[in-house]
Amino acid sequence: MKDLMGKAIWDYYHNENPEDLQTETSISELDELPVDYLFRDFEEMNQIEQKALQLSQGKTLDIGAGAGSHSLYLQNERNLDVTALDISPKSIEICKLRGIKKAVSKNMLDFSGEIFDTILLLMNGTGIFESLSKIDIYLKKLHSLINENGQILIDSTDILYMFDRDEDGGVYIPAGGYYGELDYVVHYKGDSEDPIKWLYLDFNTLKNAAENNGFIIEKVMQDEDSYLARLMRK
């Protein structure tokens, strides 16, 4: 892994000629992702992020922490015991430099030894599941990381709106897989990561998978095509 996201975060923090990231997916063209967006404070976050941070309680695990903005808010403003977890080594180094007391660079599937009251997966948290065929693996892992009364706060977007429609309102969806399974590519300073699998989930598909893996689930908030869900042990 080239860790281009981490490199951009590193460059921005150290003011070493940072540039905007570029991202694209198998169904969308190149899009700019300003690096400073990853360093936003609570007031600059969207309503779903703010709601998730307000609902967080107790010992918290922030999966896919990036530059650590969610973790910093919970640690400094909510006084919670937070662990920032990200697969990107450079991102986790910056989390530590920004003052996050607990920051770990690991794949969530390899992380163990602790149990949490709250687990956060934000900025399309379902993306980390990769594909429908792997969702059970990730949900079982998450189930093992929360205590009996713990909660998982996760967001996603139903991307059905991105597909063309016919005159009758029918949607042209490619055959051969779930429409939310995408290839996702990051570009930075002329370099590109290999494509990764990234999963956008409609709420009902997440609900079925969660219930099949020992969770009860509720939709906490809807914002246009995006939503925040809370999963708890049955």
* pLDDT of the chain, 234 residues: tens digit per residue: 799 999 999 999 999 999 999 999 988 889 999 999 999 999 999 999 999 999 999 999 999 999 999 999 999 999 999 999 999 999 999 999 999 999 999 999 999 999 999 999 999 999 999 999 999 999 999 999 999 999 999 999 999 878 766 666 665 666 667 999 999 999 999 999 999 999 999 999 999 999 999 999 999 999 999 999 999 999
Task: Please indicate, yes or no, if residue 169 is contained in any of the structural domains.
Answer: no
168, containing H or E segment: none
Task: Please indicate, yes or no, if residue 226 is contained in any of the structural domains.
Answer: yes
Task: Please indicate, yes or no, if residue 187 is contained in any of the structural domains.
Answer: yes
Bridge partner list, 59? none
Tell me what pLDDT residue 155 has: 98
Can you say how many angstroms the Cα of residue 112 is from the centroid of all Cα atoms in its chain?
Answer: 19
Give the range of the structural domain holding residue 95, as residue numbers without chain letter: 4-156+175-233
Return the DSSP state at 195: P
Q: Which CATH number does the domain housing residue 46 bear?
A: 3.40.50.150
Task: Please indicate, yes or no, if residue 165 is contained in any of the structural domains.
Answer: no
Phi and psi (nearest 5°) for 74?
A: -65, -40
Q: Which residue has the tokens 């991105």?
A: 162
Count the domains in the chain. Answer: 1
d(CA 139, CA 159): 21
